[in-house]
Chains A and B, each alone.
Chain A
Amino acid sequence: MSQTIKTTFQLPIGPIHPALKEPVAFEFEIDGEQIIDVNVTLGHVHRAIEWAARKRNPIQVLYLAERICGICSYCHPMAFALAVERIADVEVPEHAQFLRVIHAEIERMCSHILWAGVAAHEIGFDSVLFLTWEIREKLLDLTEYLVGNRVTKAITMIGGVRRDITPEMYPKIKETLQYLKDSFEKLRRVYLEDKTFKMRTKGCGILTKEEALKLVAAGPTTRASGVKKDVRVDQSYFAYCDLDIDYMTPDILTGEVNGDVYDRIIVRLLEVKQSISLIEQCLEQMPPGPIVSEPKIAKLLAKLKKVDGEGIGRMEAPRGEVFHYVKLNANEYIYAWKVRAPTYNNIMPWIPMLKNQQIADIPIVAASTDPCMSCTNRIIMIEDKKTFILGKEELHQRSIQKTRRLHL
């Protein structure tokens, strides 16, 4: 009599994945529906941006940095500018420091609300996706009103910003903030009180505090695990030190920290509320003054050409800490530049999060760190040398079916 041997299957997902916006490859080891182990491979959209910067001067790199990511098109050039300002001793006017906070917080809200929509979509609530993106649309309108562009903002300048926010513009900003406050209660009810949302996200994709610390996770991912880490509070930049701000951890709302997907939702929603408050504080406290320390770019470049040194720029982007290292060597072009986006650190924590989860939970768990990678369409399932292709739709359907099953 032949003996049955229980084996696990390999399930490669990617280099493309329905939950992500850019390519990444997962190799799952699965036992039935259960994930036993996971391996992650990156680099499918490596564009050699750091290398390309070697033939650009610091002002040109600002625009290159802006193209690292569409959603964080403000954080990257700003972190680069912070590094260069520290190397070259460029003093940023106080007025500009407050303007920088306003733009950073608008970007954070755009990103978090966008993420909330994606998370709802992943578990089959497309109506909620449209609700959140309708709210985000107002924020994009505000971004366009303030900087002239909706996505690629081109607002950063070394030593300040490129456009002012004048008191005549305040009513429009306040109107949008009021709209957000009115919509916030609706979002809170949908995400935090809905029974199905709770069933799909509570206890799902857990990252413990110790794992978050050891795997050096960043941003809302680490805060949802109870780690008090936020560059805005830890090591102030711009005008954050003058504003009322604290770490957003899930225990503020629920009194406990579980480190699951539900907690990551709580943290992001709390941060949207915090961002509204920070912008209001900025409008109240912003001192008058110039928006940039040196408006003549040719003069600024001539100064930067003579600078020799190295520096770091750190900034709390929506997904976590953005870290830039810059080395200048008294040359027209920059000598070395290292960009560390928060997803770089949040890749490793995926492994403990995904272990022991079900295949249907992959989209929501992977999306819960708000990874900054792009998306294509299919996964391949290899079982006993027979290959099945699971399309985006099918994987998405599995996720929806799980939501429906929970209702039965």
Chain B
Amino acid sequence: MNQEQVRTPEEIIQSYQDTFSQNISETRIERFTTGVKKTEFVHIWMKVNRTVFKDAIKHLFQFDKYPHFAVSSGYDTADNIDLIYHFSIYHGSRDKELSINIKVSLPKSDPTLDTITDLIPGALISEQEKQEMLGVKIKNIPKDKRVFISDDFTKDVYAWRRDETGPYKYARNLHEVDK
């Protein structure tokens, strides 16, 4: 474990609220149990305002020197694109790891967000994926290239969008076509 002092989920949420006050919302702590001994594990969720997103990620480094970034997921909510960055901290000792999921909502009119690759270089592929699948723009991304979709695929079509920029016109139901 790389952290100096292990904080409880409540202390982590409190620390975020103290630092970012109004910019943190929808905080929740989910507690689950598993096994015969009913061992507890915790998932923390919070939503941050885009303006403090980068600082909110930086804040994680206070709890663990190397927060583990799993992946970012995202979806289209009609007006916005929601991205969720999934982290875990405190790995390295039994049943102490906490999952922290940080959500950020981007308006479709300006879906831009800061890169976190300067803090966690391993986040590059995940950021590239969000650019090509959801049409968000990651500012200062070190490698602004497609990673999963080939370069010759139509621009301005985003596979995970549910609006007119979605891939529906490219997807045909087999029973609707002759071949």
Contacts from A to B (Cβ < 8 Å): 41-43, 46, 48, 50-51, 86, 94, 97, 213-217, 227-229, 231, 233-242, 247, 285, 287, 310-312, 314, 321, 323, 325, 327, 335-336, 338, 340, 344-345, 347-348
Which residue of chain A has its CB nearest to the CB of B128?
A42
Q: Can you list the 5 inter-chain pairs with the closest CB atoms, starting with the nearest?
A: A338-B73, A43-B148, A216-B122, A241-B39, A234-B97
| B6: interface (CB < 8 Å) | no
| B36: interface (CB < 8 Å) | yes
**A347 / chain B contacts, CB cutoff of 8 Å:** 125
Which residue of chain B has its CB nearest to the CB of A325?
B73
Contact B150 A51 (CB under 8 A): no
**A42 / chain B contacts, CB cutoff of 8 Å:** 125, 147-148
Q: Which of B36, B96, B124, B148 contacts A46 (CB 8 A)?
A: B148
> 0/1 per residue, B94-137, Cβ < 8 Å to A?
11111101000000000000000000111111100000000000
Which residue of chain B has its CB nearest to the CB of A97?
B35
**Sample of 19 A–B contacts (CB below 8 Å):** A48-B159, A50-B160, A86-B32, A86-B43, A213-B68, A214-B120, A214-B121, A216-B122, A227-B92, A235-B97, A236-B41, A237-B34, A241-B95, A312-B43, A321-B70, A323-B71, A336-B75, A338-B74, A344-B126
A233 and B94 in contact, given A214-B120, A216-B123, A242-B35 (Cβ under 8 angstroms) = yes
A323 and B120 in contact, given A51-B167, A234-B96 (Cβ under 8 angstroms) = no
| B86: interface (CB < 8 Å) | yes
Contact A348 B122 (CB under 8 A): yes
Contact B150 A43 (CB under 8 A): yes
The CA-CA distance from A233 to B97 in the complex, in Å, is 9
**A233 / chain B contacts, CB cutoff of 8 Å:** 94-95
Which residue of chain A has its CB nearest to the CB of B96?
A234
**Count, A-B residue pairs, CB within 8 A:** 136
Which residue of chain A has its CB nearest to the CB of B148?
A43
A348 and B95 in contact, given A287-B36, A336-B73, A338-B73 (Cβ under 8 angstroms) = no
Which residue of chain B has its CB nearest to the CB of A234?
B97
Contact A215 B122 (CB under 8 A): yes
Contact A345 B149 (CB under 8 A): no
Q: Please give 7 more A-B residue pairs, beta carbons under 8 A apart, in addition to A215-B122, A233-B94, A325-B84.
A: A213-B68, A214-B66, A233-B95, A240-B35, A310-B84, A311-B43, A345-B70
**A336 / chain B contacts, CB cutoff of 8 Å:** 73-75, 160
The CA-CA distance from A50 to B129 in the complex, in Å, is 13
The CA-CA distance from A228 to B98 in the complex, in Å, is 15
| B179: interface (CB < 8 Å) | no
Which residue of chain B has its CB nearest to the CB of A95?
B36
Contact B92 A228 (CB under 8 A): yes
| B59: interface (CB < 8 Å) | no
| B27: interface (CB < 8 Å) | no
The CA-CA distance from A83 to B95 in the complex, in Å, is 18
The CA-CA distance from A400 to B73 in the complex, in Å, is 42
Contact B41 A312 (CB under 8 A): no
Among B29-63, those with CB < 8 Å from A are 30, 32, 34-37, 39, 41, 43, 45
Q: Which of A217, A228, A325, A335 has the most CB of B within 10 A?
A: A325
**A229 / chain B contacts, CB cutoff of 8 Å:** 68, 91-92
| B20: interface (CB < 8 Å) | no
The CA-CA distance from A233 to B74 in the complex, in Å, is 28
Which residue of chain B has its CB nearest to the CB of A50?
B160
Q: Which of B32, B91, B149, B160 contacts A228 (CB 8 A)?
A: B91
Which residue of chain A has its CB nearest to the CB of B75?
A336
Contact A239 B36 (CB under 8 A): yes
Contact A236 B34 (CB under 8 A): yes
| B7: interface (CB < 8 Å) | no
Which residue of chain A has its CB nearest to the CB of B101?
A312
Query: Within the complex, what minimum Cβ distance (angstroms) separates A288 from chain B?
Result: 12
The CA-CA distance from A240 to B94 in the complex, in Å, is 11
Contact A46 B123 (CB under 8 A): no
Q: Which of A234, A241, A311, A323 contacts B34 (CB 8 A)?
A: A241
| B146: interface (CB < 8 Å) | yes
Q: Which of B34, B41, B74, B121 contacts A348 (CB 8 A)?
A: B121
**A247 / chain B contacts, CB cutoff of 8 Å:** 92
> 0/1 per residue, B142-158, Cβ < 8 Å to A?
00001111100000000
The CA-CA distance from A347 to B32 in the complex, in Å, is 32
Q: Which of B1, B45, B68, B147 has the most CB of A within 10 A?
A: B68
**B30 / chain A contacts, CB cutoff of 8 Å:** 86, 311
Contact B167 A239 (CB under 8 A): no
Contact B148 A239 (CB under 8 A): no
**B146 / chain A contacts, CB cutoff of 8 Å:** 43
